[in-house]
Amino acid sequence: MHRSFLVAMALGLLLSLGAGLAAQAHEGSGEETLDVEPSSVTAGDTVVLAGSGLEPDDLRVLVLVGQDLTVEFGTVMTDADGMFSNELTIPDHLPSGNYELQAIGDETLKVPLAITAAAGARETTPVSDAASEAVVARQRSPLELGAILALVTAAAIAGAWLVWRAERFRDAPTA
């Protein structure tokens, strides 16, 4: 009875630790890369966005994020080697500024892009329309990851306790 509890507790802690390490490794493995060429363009020009070191056959949402706007470019699928390359036309109405191209999947990869307004374009931020906005996944802070890990650990401990209780009552004599 006591041995089952210890085994369940050890298994729960190992699973919790494994989940936490997997989350940390996935977020910062350093193998994933996102590149843009050229890194500075005039609005209306095209750029090539390329990703590598990603999951094979993985769907990515491509977006351009500026100070007050988000432009969605659709999706792209990585190949069997975890790579993709996509030519994107930067909208010609964008004002000058520093932007960020993002490839959103299980994690969000980012690369900076400097945009100069097209000749004759207004230098004010355009009113965004609902069709060009996208919901962008936010990054989890270390505090949030810690809270998730704590909840997983609590669930493992509760599961171990339930196994212990079941083992204890299984061996109890019946009246």
pLDDT in tens, 94-137: 999 999 999 998 889 999 999 999 887 655 544 455 555 555 56
Does residue 99 share a domain with residue 161? no
Quote the number of domains for the chain. 2
pLDDT of residue 16: 64
Does residue 93 share a domain with residue 11? no
Does residue 67 share a domain with residue 118? yes
pLDDT of residue 11: 66
Does residue 148 share a domain with residue 133? no
pLDDT of residue 31: 85
What is the CATH classification number for the domain harbouring 126?
A: 2.60.40.230
115 within domain boundaries: yes
pLDDT of residue 138: 63
Does residue 60 share a domain with residue 43? yes
pLDDT of residue 64: 94
Note down the domain range covering 16: 2-25+143-170
pLDDT of residue 21: 53
Does residue 75 share a domain with residue 6? no
pLDDT of residue 28: 41
pTM of the model: 0.53
175 within domain boundaries: no
Does residue 133 share a domain with residue 71? yes
pLDDT of residue 27: 42
Does residue 76 share a domain with residue 161? no
Parallel, antiparallel or unpaired: strands 59-65 and 70-77: antiparallel
Q: What is the pLDDT along the chain (175 residues), one digit of tens a residue?
A: 566 666 666 666 666 666 555 544 444 445 899 999 999 999 999 999 999 999 999 999 999 999 888 999 999 999 999 999 999 999 998 999 999 999 998 889 999 999 999 887 655 544 455 555 555 566 778 888 888 999 999 999 999 989 888 887 777 676 6
pLDDT of residue 3: 66
